[in-house]
Amino acid sequence: MAVAFNRDAIVTVARNIIQAIEPWYDWGRTSITRIDNRGEGPGRFFDLQWAGLNITIFIGRTPKREG
């Protein structure tokens, strides 16, 4: 049995699929802590979440390491 699709049905299905896979993102300012916990500094971040993949990038400066 063949199912007939009209243009409106195809567009509706396509919109629902696109809304379901639309990525979520965020960016802004944050403070960045050194890995050895000896200080923190200002920085920026970008966060992208899409289809189960989460990517966060931090860019900034921290105080110099002593010694």
pLDDT at 19 over 90: no
Measured between alpha carbons, how far is residue 44 from residues 1, 41, 59, 62 in Å? 57, 10, 5, 12
pTM summary value? 0.57
- Alpha helices (runs of H) in 22-66, residue ranges in sequence order: none
Average model confidence (pLDDT) across the chain: 83
Does any domain span residue 38?
yes
Would 47 be classed as within a structural domain?
Answer: yes
- Asked whether residue 1 is domain-assigned, the answer is no
Cβ distance 19 to 44 under 8 Å? no
Q: Give me the number of domains the chain comprises.
A: 1
Q: Burial-class residue 33 by CB neighbours within 10 Å (0-12, 13-18, 19+).
A: middle
Place of tokens 């400066």: 61
Give the integer Cα–Cα distance in Å for 41 and 14: 45
In-domain check, residue 10: no
Q: Is the pLDDT of residue 5 over 50?
A: yes
